[in-house]
Amino acid sequence: MPQEFLLDLEKKVFAGQDISYEDGCRLINLPDNRIFDILASTEKIRSHFKGAEVNLCSIVNAKSGLCQEDCSFCSQSSFYNTDVKTYPMLNSKSIIDAAINAAKNGAREFSIVTSGTGIDHGKDVDILVDAINGMKENAALASLERCASLGITKRDVLLKLKDAGLESYHHNLETARSFFPNICTTHDYEDDVKVIRTAKELGFYVCCGGVFGLGESREQRVELAATLRELDIDSIPINFLNPRAGTPLEKANYLSPIECLKIIALYRFMLPKKDIVICGGRQVNLRDMQCLIFAAGANGMMIGNYLTTTGMPVEDDLNMIKDLGLKPRGRANKKT
């Protein structure tokens, strides 16, 4: 019986036991009409480990397009003919202005995101160091955590940015190791795993997740969760594919809202103490069921615009959280 199975999983979670790959596969294959049984469990788990606080993060697309990688979902890849804007690294003032705007919107985490395989020493790193220093010294940004997502970047560059005041590093694995070659052929999965291990070793709060709806199987969604658990990731951003014109996945279908909720629930069960942040594709895949992401186990979401697409009006998101009796998380309260 699904209820007994779910109660058994709950007991394992609260007893500190890891949910197995097999149980994860059984969970994500539960019929859609059991979704509210699943949400009853994940609401308990989320509120036990994360309380009523919601992580709000925002990003700036600091360098856009012209990427040498061929990720099949991405409009910033130079392999595909898309309508994406292309521009080099913004100057540090523009990055700091974007951070100020994010803080005004209520974001507690701000990430500087760049397209491209990775960032190396030179002008771009100098701009980033200036921007991070500027954010650190700006009193209006005292409540904002400083994050960056700069691709497959070398240890010494990451260390330089950490010394400048960077606190978090984001780098997605995007999908399960077994499905990755279907998504990207220009670098190996191990290249991404290595960046994440380095960021952990350097003491960053590490944010790493993926994009769902790329054609992966349900079992591969469980495989990715197990990999993130093995890497002891601190925060998992969950994106749902929003197909972009000109990319190989432009004709892909949206996931159903219930499928999205089951994915979130799976990650809450398999990574009960971690931050789970809902990012790209939220409104186009979940539509009117967006507010159920928290009952499904999420304790965070991206607010404002995404890298190349428009997000929900920030006020609507803040009202949604308030209506659910939840509240934005403060700076100091980061649980890993």
Residues forming contacts to ligand SF4 in the complex (CB under 6 A) are 67, 69, 71, 74, 76-77, 115, 151
Minimum CB distance to ligand SF4, residue 244 (Å): 10
- Residues 6 or more apart whose CB falls under 8 angstroms from that of 315 comprise none
Neighbouring C-beta atoms of residue 309, cutoff 10 Å: 13
Minimum CB distance to ligand SF4, residue 79 (Å): 8
By C-beta, is 37 or 70 nearer to ligand SF4? 70
What pairing do the DSSP bridges indicate for beta strands 109-114 and 145-149?
parallel
Residue 318 contacts residue 328 (beta carbons within 8 Å): yes
| Cα→Cα distances 131→6, 114, 161, Å | 47, 14, 10
By C-beta, is 67 or 296 nearer to ligand SF4? 67
By C-beta, is 92 or 239 nearer to ligand SF4? 239
Q: How many CA atoms lie within 13 A of 115 on its CB side?
A: 23
The residue length of the chain stands at 336
Minimum CB distance to ligand SF4, residue 143 (Å): 28
Minimum CB distance to ligand SF4, residue 305 (Å): 16
- Residue that the structure tokens 């990715």 belong to: 224
Minimum CB distance to ligand SF4, residue 275 (Å): 21
Minimum CB distance to ligand SF4, residue 189 (Å): 13
Minimum CB distance to ligand SF4, residue 86 (Å): 11
| β-strand partners of 278 | 238, 301
By C-beta, is 115 or 198 nearer to ligand SF4? 115
- Residue that the structure tokens 């590490």 belong to: 206
Q: Which of 114, 113, 112, 116 is nearest to 70 (CA)?
A: 116
Minimum CB distance to ligand SF4, residue 207 (Å): 14
Longest distance between any two alpha carbons in the chain, whole Å: 60
- Residue that the structure tokens 């509240």 belong to: 327
- Helix intervals (H) in the chain: 2-14, 21-28, 35-50, 92-104, 123-137, 155-164, 189-201, 218-230, 257-270, 282-286, 314-323
By C-beta, is 76 or 285 nearer to ligand SF4? 76
How far is residue 82's CA from residue 65's CA, in Å, rounded to a whole number?
9
Angle, CA of 189, 191 and 193, to the nearest 5°: 70
By C-beta, is 58 or 247 nearer to ligand SF4? 247
Amino acid at 289: M
By C-beta, is 183 or 222 nearer to ligand SF4? 183
By C-beta, is 97 or 191 nearer to ligand SF4? 191
- Residue that the structure tokens 């404002």 belong to: 304
By C-beta, is 5 or 79 nearer to ligand SF4? 79
How far is residue 261's CA from residue 276's CA, in Å, rounded to a whole number?
12
Minimum CB distance to ligand SF4, residue 311 (Å): 18
